[in-house]
Structure 1
């Protein structure tokens, strides 16, 4: 009888443990499932951005810091959501305004902003001339990087599908695994629509993304 009671207690303990694992693991798994399969969501919750499916790893892009020439280490950005802006040629006033708007969008996430980084990728202009980066005043925390050669530029154009869209009109989203997974049209979408998408992404990944130091 004692052995039967012990076995029954062990089974109950295992069931309790499995139930606890399910309670804590299921929400983030469901959240990620719905992010990647928005067709299963009610119509009022479908994301406004364009899902890039399958997601595309960006770690193979050899980019370098515009000021120092130091290679960008994508591994430093793992566990972060990354806003990526792409600009061809010099970062003019329109480009600067776009970066400021992205900064404001990040700030609108309140405490969650610490889970988000920003990167500006600058491409050569139509003549192949290296672009001139913007002044950093007001853009602190934005990583500004360059493509080192035409091969890297071509790889980036293909990865981000820039043959089909205007790069300067879009915000690209890289997920905490280092995959390009969504883009938003900055000309056709309102800031609050983009913000709603970002809040959904952050909420779905709340249990597995770490914070960072930037304000």
Structure 2
């Protein structure tokens, strides 16, 4: 009887030891976006040009959470949808929205339509012109997708940390960003 009682008391310890050291569970992820591992810091040589024609390193935006999309100046439906989602996610952060900056990296210097400029004004959405090759070498994509298919998230330390899928779900992006802003005190 004493041996049976000792076995019942020791069972949770034995099972936990087996689960931790022997049966290594494959855990899922609680984030919607794909975490980028290893992180990719913003390249120091990545220089962008703002609407006024002034050049600045993209690293100068460090200190804020950056939601980045890449597209040409001829913003078609998918591009407008990504810009809309980025704006909505930023607005939904209410008191924390100042910690997030939306960045549209344009791959050409053609003029942006007035409709888009009015719908996504500065400084809520920063529109920069950048070299497509430099962007492509920094931002990773999955097989079967293009650079222009994703929304990317850069942390305040300047590290690319997350990529959202091609046809994203606004509610899930918002949940990821809200969780990051809640638990992170940087930026």
Alignment TM-score, normalising by the size of structure 1: 0.64
C-alpha deviation, 1:75, in angstroms:
4.7
Partners of 2:110 and 2:74 lie apart in 1 by: 4
Partners of 1:93 and 1:55 lie apart in 2 by: 30
Residues paired across the two proteins, number: 157
The one of 132, 157, 171 equivalent to 1:177 is: 157
Change (3 A) 1:52 1:171: same
Partners of 1:137 and 1:123 lie apart in 2 by: 20
Moved over 6 A (4+): none
Instruction: Please tell me whether residue 199 in structure 1 is matched to residue 150 in structure 2.
Output: no
CA RMSD, 1 decimal: 2.5
Partners of 1:166 and 1:155 lie apart in 2 by: 15
C-alpha deviation, 1:94, in angstroms:
4.1
Correspondence for 2:76? 92
- The aligned runs of 1:1-215 (5 Å cut-off) are 43=28, 46-60=30-44, 61-65=46-50, 67-88=51-72, 90-124=74-108, 130-135=109-114, 136-140=117-121, 141-147=124-130, 152-162=131-141, 164=143, 165-187=145-167, 189-206=168-185, 208-209=186-187
Query: What secondary structure sits across from 1:101 in the alignment?
Result: helix
Unaligned runs of 5+ in 1: 1-39, 125-129, 210-215
Unaligned runs of 5+ in 2: 1-24
